């Protein structure tokens, strides 16, 4: 039996940043990771020409201060993301492919309606204190409401509803009809307080060395990271915690940091923490998404004045330029079943055919493609946290809190998934655990 001060379960950005701070604070730490690699939802592969291609999380924004600080500490480089790509955005619906700021199916009255609902959204966002969301007097009403209902209540036209849903297909975090208005507004409030999803706050930067390099660099500095070691059971007690791996090994520690996504967390047999906490943890859910990436020898989309950014009602809900000549795409939850249920060769051909509808024939001839079915990966079971109407209250104020010697972190313990959530909660869990020593 191995004993250590703290056992960290999961070597994603959350578990690794918790372990890093714990070690820096003088604790002995063992990290247990199910997969044969670290990084979790950040993962990269390298092309023969040296380009590092991201198959998971990629971009961050100005509001992601914990992540940005960590990147600086690790000596890595931040560069502008796709926001500097020249050209115009493309929107694809079955009846039209439009290049330019507004799609052809949005009329002048629709644009006026869009601006009206944006102003209404802004008022809701301003009423939420991101530091204390559960104190919001309107929590119950807004959490019961879907974003779609809120928009309809504020007079959104059918085309405006469609435009909002298109954005959500592109973000792959679930339709506006299945998203809590409170969760939606809280996310904007945390990002900095504007009504719509603000790219500068959420997506304007990326790590030049590759976002998965952040995880690899943290892991390289840690004393004890055990790969291919899935955990099945956690027993928590103030006199000593015990963690059992699926291979039957038992490890003991003074404290446990749980740093796995909502789905894998539900699969664990956890005892010694309150029923309220387990109920809260297990009530979380994920939006299921897949990522499709195609690498080309050059950014051919520029030839037609396009920036490779697209929002679409097709199986690929969005595309964006990951880096020079590399096209990223997300398959949203609403399209996941049809994508995952298709043989790999056919779904690749269909994804490339959609890219060709967006950007022309050169899209059909990539150097290489990759598909990552994150939704049905046993160690992720999703993509980012999903908050359906009623979920914020059901998960409740225990969300993102700890029950020493049991600590939780991970992007699901923040407002909306994202790498910032992983790093922020990982560091907070380490600080909380160190304060108890
Ligand atoms: C396709 C995709 C695109 C994304 N794009 C962005 C983006 O552009 N910007 C952004 O900010 N965020 C993005 N995200 C979200 C972001 O990547 C994640 O929120 C973040 O990386 C999660 O980190 P984490 O440590 O909380 O969880 P994870 O990275 O999921 O790490 C959890 C770890 O726990 C391990 N584990 C699970 N179960 C067990 C077990 N039983 N025993 C031991 N180990 C276990 C897993 O293998 C994994 O390594 C994206 C995610 C995906 C999937």
31 ligand 1 Cβ < 6 A? no
125 ligand 1 Cβ < 6 A? no
Tell me the pLDDT band of 190, cut-offs 50, 70 and 90.
confident
Task: Give the global pTM.
Answer: 0.97
Tell me the pLDDT band of 9, cut-offs 50, 70 and 90.
very high
Ligand 1 atom closest to the CA of 32, numbered from 1: 43
Give me ligand 1 centre to Cα 49, in Å: 27
For the domain made up of 2-41+210-285+387-435, the CATH class stated in words is alpha beta
Among the ranges given (77-86, 89-98, 196-205, 349-358), the one the predictor scored with the smallest mean pLDDT: 196-205
Q: Distance between CA atoms of 267 and 379, rounded to whole angstroms?
A: 10
What are residue 368's DSSP bridge partners? 295
Give me ligand 1 centre to Cα 81, in Å: 20
264 ligand 1 Cβ < 6 A? yes
The domain ranges of the chain are: 2-41+210-285+387-435, 106-198
Answer whether 255's CB lies under 8 Å from 241's CB.
yes
59 ligand 1 Cβ < 6 A? yes
* CA distances in angstroms from 93 to 169, 333, 403, listed in the order given: 12, 17, 48
Once rounded to an integer, what is the mean pLDDT over residues 400-407?
97
Give me ligand 1 centre to Cα 387, in Å: 17
16 ligand 1 Cβ < 6 A? no
Q: Distance between CA atoms of 175 and 313, rounded to whole angstroms?
A: 12
Per-residue pLDDT tens over the stretch 319-360: 999 999 999 999 999 999 999 999 999 999 999 999 999 999
User: 3-state SS string over the chain?
Assistant: CEEEEEEEECCEHHHHHHHHHHHHCCCCEEEECCCCCCECCCCEEECCCCCEEECCCCEECCCCHHHHHHHHHCCCCEEECHHHCCCEEEEEECCEEEECCCCCCCCHHHHHHHHHHHHHHHHHHHCCCCCCHHHCCCHHHHHHCEHHHHHHHCCCCHHHHHHHHHHHHHHCCCCHHHCEHHHHHHHHHHHCCCCCCCHHHHCCEEECCCHHHHHHHHHHCCCCEECCCCEEEEECCCCCEEEEECCCCEEEEEEEEECCCHHHHHHCEEECCCHHHHHHHHCCEEECCEEEEEECCCCHHHHHCEEEEEEECCCCCEEEEEECCEEEEEECHHHHHHHHCCCHHHHHHHHHHHHHHHHCHHHHCCCEEEEECHHHCCCCCCCEEECCCCHHHHHCCCCCCCECCEEECCHHHCCCCCHHHHHHHHHHHHHHHHHCC
Is the alpha carbon torsion for 56, 61, 65, 69 positive or negative? positive
Q: Distance between CA atoms of 145 and 352, rounded to whole angstroms?
A: 37
Q: Distance between CA atoms of 292 and 161, rounded to whole angstroms?
A: 27
Percent above pLDDT 90 for the chain: 91
40 ligand 1 Cβ < 6 A? yes
Say what the pLDDT of residue 311 is. 97
Architecture of domain 106-198: Orthogonal Bundle (1.10)
User: Which pair of tokens denotes residue 378?
Assistant: 């046993």
Tell me the pLDDT band of 194, cut-offs 50, 70 and 90.
low
32 ligand 1 Cβ < 6 A? yes
Average pLDDT score, the chain: 96
Q: Distance between CA atoms of 335 and 252, rounded to whole angstroms?
A: 43
Tell me the pLDDT band of 130, cut-offs 50, 70 and 90.
confident
Ligand 1 mutation pick, 20, 57, 263, 421, max ligand atoms within 8 A of CB: 57
Check for a shared fold between 2-41+210-285+387-435 and 106-198. no
Per-residue pLDDT tens over the stretch 221-243: 999 999 999 999 999 999 899 99
Say what the pLDDT of residue 342 is. 97
33 ligand 1 Cβ < 6 A? yes
345: Cβ–Cβ under 8 A, 6 or more apart, which residues?
A: none
Q: What are the phi and psi torsion angles at 383 (to 5°)?
A: -145, -70
* Closest to 250 measured CA to CA, from 32, 16, 28, 20: 32
Say what the pLDDT of residue 132 is. 87
pLDDT exceeds cutoff 70 at 193: no
Say what the pLDDT of residue 350 is. 98
Ligand 1 atom closest to the CA of 67, numbered from 1: 11
260 ligand 1 Cβ < 6 A? yes
Give me ligand 1 centre to Cα 183, in Å: 20
Say what the pLDDT of residue 200 is. 76
Tell me the pLDDT band of 198, cut-offs 50, 70 and 90.
confident
* Closest to 354 measured CA to CA, from 372, 382, 335: 335
Q: Distance between CA atoms of 162 and 274, rounded to whole angstroms?
A: 43
Q: Distance between CA atoms of 199 and 185, rounded to whole angstroms?
A: 15
What are residue 294's DSSP bridge partners? 327, 369
Ligand 1 atom closest to the CA of 422, numbered from 1: 26
């Amino acid at each position: 039996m191995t004993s250590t001060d703290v056992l960290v379960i999961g070597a994603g950005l959350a578990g690794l940043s918790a372990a890093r701070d714990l070690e820096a604070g003088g604790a002995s730490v063992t990290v247990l990771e199910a997969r044969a690699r670290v990084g979790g939802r950040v993962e990269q592969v390298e092309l023969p020409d040296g380009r590092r291609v991201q198959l998971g999380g990629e971009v961050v924004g100005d509001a992601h201060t914990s992540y940005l600080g960590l990147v600086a500490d690790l000596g890595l480089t931040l560069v502008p993301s796709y926001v500097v790509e020249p050209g115009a955005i493309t929107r694809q619906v079955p009846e039209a492919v439009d290049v330019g700021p507004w799609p052809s199916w949005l009329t002048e009255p629709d644009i006026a309606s869009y601006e009206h609902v944006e102003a209404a959204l802004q008022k809701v966002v301003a009423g939420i204190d991101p530091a204390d969301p559960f104190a919001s007097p309107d929590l119950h009403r807004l959490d019961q409401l879907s974003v779609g209902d809120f928009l309809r209540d504020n007079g959104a036209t059918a085309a405006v509803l469609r435009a909002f849903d298109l954005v959500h297909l592109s973000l792959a975090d679930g339709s506006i009809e299945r998203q809590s208005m409170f969760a939606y507004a809280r996310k904007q409030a945390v990002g900095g307080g504007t009504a719509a999803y603000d790219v500068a706050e959420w997506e304007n930067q990326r790590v030049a060395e590759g976002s998965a390099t952040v995880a690899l660099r943290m892991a390289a500095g840690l004393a004890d990271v055990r790969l291919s070691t899935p955990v099945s059971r956690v027993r928590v007690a103030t006199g000593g915690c015990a963690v059992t791996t699926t291979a039957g090994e038992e490890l003991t520690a003074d404290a446990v940091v749980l740093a796995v996504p909502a789905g894998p967390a539900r699969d664990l047999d956890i005892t010694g923490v309150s029923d309220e906490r387990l109920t809260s943890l297990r009530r979380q859910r994920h939006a299921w998404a897949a990522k499709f990436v195609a690498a080309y020898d050059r950014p051919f989309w520029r030839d037609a004045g396009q920036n490779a950014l697209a929002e679409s009602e097709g199986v690929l809900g969005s595309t964006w330029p990951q880096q020079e000549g590399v096209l990223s795409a997300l398959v949203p939850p609403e399209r996941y079943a049809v994508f995952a249920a298709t043989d790999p060769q056919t779904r690749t051909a269909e994804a490339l055919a959609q890219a060709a509808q967006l950007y022309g024939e050169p899209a059909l001839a990539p150097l290489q493609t990759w598909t990552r079915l994150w939704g049905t990966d046993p160690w992720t079971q999703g993509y980012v946290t999903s908050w359906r109407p009623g979920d914020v209250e059901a998960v409740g104020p225990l969300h993102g809190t700890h029950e020493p010697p049991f600590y939780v972190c991970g992007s699901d313990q923040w407002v909306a998934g994202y790498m910032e959530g992983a790093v922020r909660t990982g560091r907070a869990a380490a600080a909380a655990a160190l304060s108890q020593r």
